[in-house]
Structure 1
Amino acid sequence: MDDPIESLAGAIADAERVVALTGAGVSTASGIPSFRGEGGIWEQFDQRDFHYRRFNADPGGFWRDRLDLRDAFYGDSEVEPNGAHHALAELEREGYLEAVVTQNVDGLHAAAGSETVVELHGTNREAECVECGRRLPAETAFERAAEGELPPRCEGCGGVLKPAVVLFGESMPDEPTIRAHELAGRSDLFLAVGSSLQVQPAAGLPARAQRSGATLAVVNLEATPLSDRADYDLRADVTELLPALVEALE
């Protein structure tokens, strides 16, 4: 029986357009907890406190709770990219991977060196003004909130600052969603990594790729709704499997 990693490596080498989709499972090894499931962030916090309606109605209270969420999310340590992030960046550098589409908001793909990253849900490394759209490092906004500026405001126009992520109840931004569907539709190998494939619109991307004739590879510790339809269904730790995949391609 063929080694599944060697087989998948061969399929990647033969493909013209490989696109990866990543979920929370790629970042948990960097110390970032998942949002859902046992031990997830939403067991500690009420999702309604971070709804877009709450932000509009009580931006000061939203930011106060957001400080607590940030502490739970990151803790006291600086998070760093792990082997999975570095492996995907290496696949791109070597010309095997066209782009990474991610459900994550931690910015670790870019930190690892990936250059073409589509962040479906935005990034928590920046804050944006709801009035003029100006962006600044999130840490600056959080520091001002921690010092009592609730909510922190734009120094340019005075508008309220908002974390540059998609909040519950907020519309998905058109540009990354359209870009992700375009990438999935023209891929000939779609690699879904560390995602439960249960949250839209990301969950629809592998099926979109398959409808266009792409080979589908799913790498996740647990089964996903598409595991029985995937051409490759590898139940493995992504921080171990992806570096092994890079090595198999050398």
Structure 2
Amino acid sequence: MRKRLVVLTGAGISAESGIATFRDADGLWEGHDVMEVASPQGWRKNPALVLNFYNERRKNAHEVKPNAGHLALAGLEKDFDVRIITQNVDDLHERAGSSNVIHLHGKLFESRSTLDPKLVYPMKGWELNLGDTCERGSQLRPNIVWFGEPVPMMEKAIEEALSADIFLIAGTSLVVYPAAGLVHYVPEEVPIFVVDPRMPDLPRRPNLHLYEENASTGVPKVAEELLQNYK
């Protein structure tokens, strides 16, 4: 029986492919206060600004490619039962070939009804505009979990953390909750591998393996270690 490898990824792994992050720029996301473009208040205040912001994010995401970190995780599916929990809204894990991905903060290439959150639609292109409506006539919004909104996939993510045989953290500072709390659900006997150039603050525990480098180089090294010693 293949071991279950549960992976938590954050903005760092996508940044290496060319996707902008806001936490590296004093809370500004390409010139915008994050609360203007990623909160229910921002949406109510200026929906056109929010829609345009995510249109630009989609356009950017179309132009970039998965990096060696994404590809290494997809390759591990040959030998492990890989479950990826990502804080990222892009589709780079899926494009790299990963088949089991939980998006904690929503999906960039989906829209959803402002009237009924169960009405979710895949997006083929990159534009979502004022006047684009769901089947019930309500304006569509990005299917993104904004600040102050519940994280509907969190329970599923906790289940995965509890069931891990190996846990890997890549490209996240572990400061955004509730996602950062997932590490506390990993059973103590389970080895944890952490890949980040700026090592996050972690609880002391046995079986902790630290790789202080970028995901594109560190994740392939972890993959090699897992294939040699943990299959």
TM-score by length of 2: 0.85
Residues 1:73 and 1:124: Cα distance change in structure 2 (over 3 Å): closer
Q: Which digits, 9 at most, give the CA deviation of each residue in 1:117-154, with x for residues without a partner?
A: 111111111101133433333465x6351xxxx25222
Check whether the contact 1:129–1:160 (CA below 8 A) recurs between aligned residues: yes
The reply on whether 1:85 has 2:65 as its aligned counterpart is: no
Q: Distance in 2 between matches of 1:139 and 1:40?
A: 30
Check whether the contact 2:193–2:222 (CA below 8 A) recurs between aligned residues: no
Check whether the contact 2:11–2:87 (CA below 8 A) recurs between aligned residues: yes
CA RMSD of aligned residues (A): 2.6
Report matched runs for 1:205-244 at 5 Å.
205-211=182-188, 213-226=189-202, 229=205, 231-244=208-221
Which amino acid counterpart does residue 134 of structure 1 have in structure 2?
L
Structure 1 equivalent of residue 102 of structure 2: 118
Report matched runs for 1:1-80 at 5 Å.
16-38=3-25, 41-42=28-29, 44-50=31-37, 51-55=39-43, 57-58=44-45, 61-68=46-53, 70-71=55-56, 74-75=59-60, 78-80=63-65
Residues 68-77 or 227-236, more deviating? 68-77
Look up the SS of the partner of 1:98 in the other structure.
strand
Q: Distance in 2 between matches of 1:144 and 1:237?
A: 33
Q: Distance in 2 between matches of 1:76 and 1:23?
A: 15
Q: Distance in 1 between matches of 2:103 and 2:62?
A: 23
The reply on whether 1:180 has 2:168 as its aligned counterpart is: no
The reply on whether 1:106 has 2:94 as its aligned counterpart is: no
Look up the SS of the partner of 2:147 in the other structure.
coil
**1:42 CA drift (Å):** 3.0
**1:208 CA drift (Å):** 1.3
- Give the helix-richer structure, 1 or 2: 1
Look up the SS of the partner of 2:218 in the other structure.
helix
Residues 1:144 and 1:222: Cα distance change in structure 2 (over 3 Å): closer
- Give the strand-richer structure, 1 or 2: 2
Look up the SS of the partner of 1:30 in the other structure.
coil
Which amino acid counterpart does residue 47 of structure 1 have in structure 2?
V
Check whether the contact 1:104–1:119 (CA below 8 A) recurs between aligned residues: yes
Residues 1:185 and 1:27: Cα distance change in structure 2 (over 3 Å): same
Check whether the contact 1:105–1:123 (CA below 8 A) recurs between aligned residues: yes
The gaps in structure 2 that reach 5 residues or longer are none
Q: Which digits, 9 at most, give the CA deviation of each residue in 1:61-103, with x for residues without a partner?
A: 22334313542675496121111111101112x1324300000
Q: Distance in 2 between matches of 1:118 and 1:66?
A: 24
Choose which of 149, 153, 158 in structure 2 pairs with 1:170: 149
Q: Calculate percent identity across the aligned residue pairs.
A: 34
Bigger radius of gyration among the two: 1
Check whether the contact 1:20–1:192 (CA below 8 A) recurs between aligned residues: yes
Q: Which digits, 9 at most, give the CA deviation of each residue in 1:198-218, with x for residues without a partner?
A: 11111111121044x321111
Residues 1:66 and 1:76: Cα distance change in structure 2 (over 3 Å): same
Q: Distance in 2 between matches of 1:161 and 1:69?
A: 12
Look up the SS of the partner of 1:172 in the other structure.
coil
